[in-house]
Amino acid sequence: MADSAPLFLTPDSPLLGHYHAGLVRASGIRYARAARFQPPVDEPAHPDLRPATAPGPACPQVPDPALQEALGPALAGRIFDEDCLRLTVTAPPNYQTGPARPVLVWIHGGSYVSGAGDLAFYDPAPLVREQELVVVAVSYRLGMLGFLGHQHAPANLGLLDLLSALRWVQRNIAAFGGDAGCVTLLGHSSGGDAAAHLMLTEGATKLFRRVILHSAPLGLAPGRARMTRAMAAAVTPLLPDAPLAQVLAAQPRAEQAARWSGLKAGMPFGVQYGAFPLPPEAEANATWQSVAAQFDVLIGTTADELRFFAVIAPRLRRLLTLPRPAPALLQALITAGSRRIYVGPAAVFARRHARAGGRAYLFTVPYHPPGSDFGGAHTIDLPLLFGSAAAWAPVPLLGEAAWPEVEAAGRPVRQFWADFARTGQLPTVVHLPGILEVQKA
Q: Is 190 a catalytic residue?
A: no
- Closest by alpha carbon to 267, among 307, 221, 330, 322? 221
CA dist., res. 252 & res. 270, Å (int): 15
Q: Which helix (H) or strand (E) holds 436?
A: strand 436-440
Question: Exactly one of 189, 190, 261, 372 is catalytic; which is it?
Answer: 189
> What distance separates the 2 farthest-apart alpha carbons in the chain?
67
Identify the helix (H) or strand (E) that includes residue 26: strand 23-30
Question: CA-to-CA distance for 235 and 198, rounded, in angstroms?
Answer: 27
Closest CA to 63 of 152, 160, 142: 142
Q: Give burial (CB, 10 Å; 0-12/13-18/19+) of 410.
A: buried
At what angle are helices 326-338 and 314-321 packed, to 10 degrees?
Answer: 130
In DSSP terms, which residues pair with 106 in a beta bridge? Answer: 137, 186
* Catalytically annotated residue among 305, 338, 368, 372: 305
- Active-site residue, 18 included: no
Q: Which of 188, 197, 368, 378 is catalytic?
A: 378
Q: Is 300 helix (H, G, I), strand (E, B) or coil?
A: strand
* Burial of residue 241 (number of CB atoms within 10 Å: 0-12, 13-18, 19+): exposed
Tell me the C-alpha distance between 134 and 45, whole Å: 22
Q: Identify the DSSP state of 395.
A: -
* Measured distance CA(213)–CA(282) in Å, rounded: 22
**Whole-number Å distance between alpha carbons of 376 and 308:** 9
Question: What is the 3-state composition of the chain as percent helix, strand, coil, each rounded to the nearest 5?
Answer: 40, 20, 40
Catalytic site includes residue 437: no
- The residues that are catalytic are 189, 305, 378
